[in-house]
Amino acid sequence: MAVPTFPQAAFAQDITIEAKPSTAQLVPAEYGQTGVWAYDGMVPGTPLRLQQGERLRRVLVNRLDQPTTIHWHGIRLENAMDGAAGLTQEAVAPGGQFSYDFVAKDAGTYWYHPHRNSLEQVARGLSGPLIVEEHEAPDVDEDLTLLIQDWRLDQEAQIVADFANMHDMAHAGRIGNHLTVNGLPEFRTPAKTGQRLRLRIINAASDRILRLGAKGLTGYVVALDGMPLQKPEALTEIVLAPAQRADLFADIAAEPGETAHLTSIERQGTFSLAAFSVSGRDGTTLRPAPQSLPPNPVAVPSLKNARTLELVMEGGAMGRMAAARTADGKTRSMRELIGQGMAWAFNGVAGMPDRPLADLDLGEEVRMLLSNQTAWPHAMHLHGHHFQEVKDKTPGPLRDTILVMPQEKREIVFVADNPGKWMFHCHMLSHQAAGMMSWVNVIS
């Protein structure tokens, strides 16, 4: 695909974000430190916080030995700032830099990560939280961001560098063997009975789906993928696909001397992800259910004149895909595709197509039918827009990433009101690398 060039003048005194090799204490100290790639040398990267409507300016400085970019996941921004290497900008070469500059229109919990060789770069540690505060702070005692990463570590606690592993790519992706919250081997924080915490949970794993639960907490889900729910929902269990976020209001119900937990529910059992050591009491009764957060200015479709697009997902292990076209237009057998590191296709095309899924008119309403004809779940992410899932003719919460289970058919709707070239891909980064990529073109 032809890559346009984007001339850039650097801002005078801008704050940088450096992507560079570093070390982090991801496992208990007796096992030593892990070599990582990290923003500003920190895992997770510098937490970025701004007010809704504020401008964020950061100069990415690439101190890696390979090209990179930053994608501001979930932010509805100008196309040129989206960080999609090869589509909205050229990747930043080693030693190079790129100035990002955008206004955060929506409040909520977002994150940033590379969008070039994302599988390796995210799995090695490059990601950070991006928090956009509401104009009026909601009534909580604490506001905590919990960014969850999934690491595949060897005996020496070093990252296993098997990123081009076709077995992973054609199955569930790169599933690690060590989860961290905010880069820590164990996340623990003091709390009091009756306190209300806002927990901003970010699944920054390359491929792992998280199933979260709560113990000793009365939780309410107040936002998903940054966007407030119209009505907060009581938390029982929540599934977060890679890249998805959930904002919880969690009231500490555990008694002084006890520990409350945010848990990860796994096949082998239920594990503590974050522990809240309760000492003392704050008030005598639990608070009433929370109010909803103020809505963000996202256009919602009327569902009357929507244009219908279809996206068929095929391939992977135990699938029926026999062949697919590659970027050069040639049809290749599954065996040839695997030889090229490809295992999946959207509408018969493996890898980033030259032509978009559709050219959309600015403001056009789009209804997209997602048909997962594979044996694996996929976390479909649209750039530059939030969409709603339609179930029984009723549009649900705004999301930027939707988990589509094997053999499922799902329907999403959105207003294409942001001009430019926007990627639509699977956020299981192994699947993305192995072909699950496309884009739409919104023409102004």
104 vs 119 by CB, closer to Cu ion: 119
Exposure string for 178-212, b = 16+ CB within 10 A, e = fewer: ebbbbbeeebeeebbbbbbbbbbbbbbbbbbbbeb
Regarding 378 and contact with ligand C2O (CB under 6 A), the answer is: no
Tell the smallest beta-carbon distance from residue 90 to ligand C2O (Å): 17
Euclidean distance between the first and final Cα of the chain, in Å? 21
Q: Which residue is nearest to ligand C2O (CB)?
A: 73
Interface positions, 73-102, toward ligand C2O (CB under 6 A): 73
Q: Which listed residue (71, 200, 245, 431) binds Cu ion by CB under 5 A?
A: 431
* CA geometry: angle 225, 124, 147, nearest 5 deg: 30
Regarding 383 and contact with ligand C2O (CB under 6 A), the answer is: yes
Tell the smallest beta-carbon distance from residue 113 to ligand C2O (Å): 6
Choose from ligand C2O, Cu ion, none: what does 383 bind? Cβ within 5-8 Å by kind: ligand C2O
Taking alpha carbons only, the member of 97, 78, 115 closest to residue 352 is 115
Do residues 264 and 273 make contact, with C-beta atoms less than 8 angstroms apart?
yes
Do residues 262 and 221 make contact, with C-beta atoms less than 8 angstroms apart?
no
Regarding 115 and contact with ligand C2O (CB under 6 A), the answer is: yes
Choose from Cu ion, ligand C2O, none: what does 152 bind? Cβ within 5-8 Å by kind: none
Choose from Cu ion, ligand C2O, none: what does 171 bind? Cβ within 5-8 Å by kind: none
Regarding 245 and contact with ligand C2O (CB under 6 A), the answer is: no
Choose from ligand C2O, Cu ion, none: what does 399 bind? Cβ within 5-8 Å by kind: none
> Counting runs of H as helices and runs of E as strands, what totals does the chain give?
4, 32
CA distance 84 to 14: 22
Choose from Cu ion, ligand C2O, none: what does 378 bind? Cβ within 5-8 Å by kind: Cu ion
Exposure string for 3-37, b = 16+ CB within 10 A, e = fewer: eeeeeeeeeeeeeebbbbebebbbbeeeeeebebb
214 vs 382 by CB, closer to ligand C2O: 382
Q: Which residues lie below 8 Å from residue 355, measured CB to CB, with a gap of 6+?
A: none
Tell the smallest beta-carbon distance from residue 380 to ligand C2O (Å): 10
146 vs 426 by CB, closer to Cu ion: 426
With contacts defined by CB under 6 A, name the span among 42-50, 180-188, 259-267, 419-427 that binds ligand C2O.
419-427
Exposure string for 232-250, b = 16+ CB within 10 A, e = fewer: beebeebebbbbbbbbbbb
Tell me the β-bridge partners of 318.
Answer: none
Interface positions, 360-389, toward Cu ion (CB under 5 A): 378
Regarding 423 and contact with ligand C2O (CB under 6 A), the answer is: yes
Tell the smallest beta-carbon distance from residue 85 to ligand C2O (Å): 10
Choose from Cu ion, ligand C2O, none: what does 423 bind? Cβ within 5-8 Å by kind: ligand C2O
Q: Which listed residue (204, 404, 428, 440) binds Cu ion by CB under 5 A?
A: 428
Tell the smallest beta-carbon distance from residue 431 to Cu ion (Å): 3
Task: Look at the chain and count its residues.
Answer: 444
Tell the smallest beta-carbon distance from residue 125 to ligand C2O (Å): 15
Q: Classify residue 108 by burial, with Cβ atoms within 10 Å: 0-12, 13-18, 19+.
A: buried
195 vs 206 by CB, closer to ligand C2O: 206
The dihedrals phi and psi of 93, each to the nearest 5 degrees, come to: -70, 160
State whether residue 167 is helix, strand or coil: helix
Do residues 244 and 403 make contact, with C-beta atoms less than 8 angstroms apart?
yes
CA distance 438 to 424: 5
Regarding 426 and contact with Cu ion (CB under 5 A), the answer is: yes
CA distance 443 to 211: 38
Tell the smallest beta-carbon distance from residue 67 to ligand C2O (Å): 16
Q: Which listed residue (243, 246, 248, 342) binds ligand C2O by CB under 6 A?
A: 243
With contacts defined by CB under 6 A, name the span among 224-232, 277-285, 361-369, 421-429 that binds ligand C2O.
421-429
Choose from ligand C2O, Cu ion, none: what does 421 bind? Cβ within 5-8 Å by kind: none
Sign of the dihedral through C-alpha 431, 432, 434, 440: positive
Site residues for Cu ion per CB under 5 A? 378, 426, 428, 431
Residues that bind ligand C2O (CB under 6 A): 71, 73, 113, 115, 243, 381, 383, 423, 425, 427
